[in-house]
Amino acid sequence: MLIATWNINGVKARLDALLAWLQERSPDIACLQEIKNVDETFPREAIEALGYHVETHGQKGFNGVALLSKEKPVSIEPRLPGDSSDEHARFIEGVWDFHGRPLRVASLYLPNGNPLGTEKFTYKLAWMQRLLAHARDSMAREELLVLAGDYNIIPERGDAARPDKWTGDALFQPESRAAYRRLINLGLSDAIRATTDADGTYSFWDYQAGAWQKNNGIRIDHLLLSPEAQDRMASAGIDRHVRGWEKPSDHVPVLVELAA
């Protein structure tokens, strides 16, 4: 079972790249973020033609998440619990049958939180607190759980090529990183860091200042696994070559493989 997460940065603008990558990698479940369109205008026909079932929680112009899967999910939940007034489309979760056991996979797009000192940073931390509560409740079920997405958090200094340049950014604040550690401390495992501690392991390169060419990247796209999912993990990796494609997203796919 190959599960991937990718902040696509506008699905219509990156549709050719998405279709090419789906054919190249053939993930069983693909979690997309920043699809940037409403459910009704999502280009599902082209994706369905490749054999994928499509579930979306869209929003006009920004945000928006999706789940693409070879098998139809047993159930879908399009919102993160904890705040019924939150209108941002940042979360969608599905449950699949995985060899007789429930597999719960969420595609999530955490708030950026910039600029510091504004309600945007407060919202980021509140959203993280809701995610923590949801993860705790989900883990109590002792299911295979994968929380996949763009966390907009650089967990450690080794997750940035130039960490000192991020000290004034919401992605690298002590509060943001502490919220991420609280998730890990529930017993979740960071799939990439479970397989490598190497520096230079990035999932995002800005469009500006030749960041891709200089490998001036950061790692902010994460797959967090419950102990039950961690026990099945066969491999994890980052498809960094996709960043070199024509009209790329500034993020690349991150993947984990679960063994039967």
152 is in an annotated binding site: yes
9 is in an annotated binding site: no
Which of 57, 134, 222, 251 is an active site residue? Answer: 251
Distance CA 65, CA 59 (A): 9
Which of 52, 57, 134, 150 is an active site residue? Answer: 150
Enumerate residues 6+ apart whose C-beta is below 8 A from 111: 88, 90, 120, 123, 124, 127, 152
Tell me which DSSP letter residue 171 carries.
Answer: G
Q: Is the peptide bond before 115 cis (omega within 30 degrees of 0)?
A: yes
Cβ(79)–Cβ(63) below 8 Å: no
Handedness of CA 35, 2, 221, 219 (dihedral sign): negative
Distance CA 226, CA 13 (A): 34
Active site residue 109: yes
Active site residue 180: no
63 is in an annotated binding site: no
Distance CA 167, CA 188 (A): 26
Enumerate residues 6+ apart whose C-beta is below 8 A from 150: 5, 7, 33, 34, 108, 109, 110, 220, 221, 251
> Which residues make beta-bridge pairs with 105?
94, 146
87 is in an annotated binding site: no
Distance CA 251, CA 34 (A): 11
Which of 28, 57, 109, 221 is an active site residue? Answer: 109
Cβ(131)–Cβ(107) below 8 Å: no
Active site residue 97: no
Which residues line the annotated binding site?
Answer: 7, 34, 150, 152, 250-251
Which residue numbers are catalytic? 109, 150, 251
Q: Which residues are annotated as a binding site for Mg(2+)?
A: 7, 34, 150, 152, 250-251
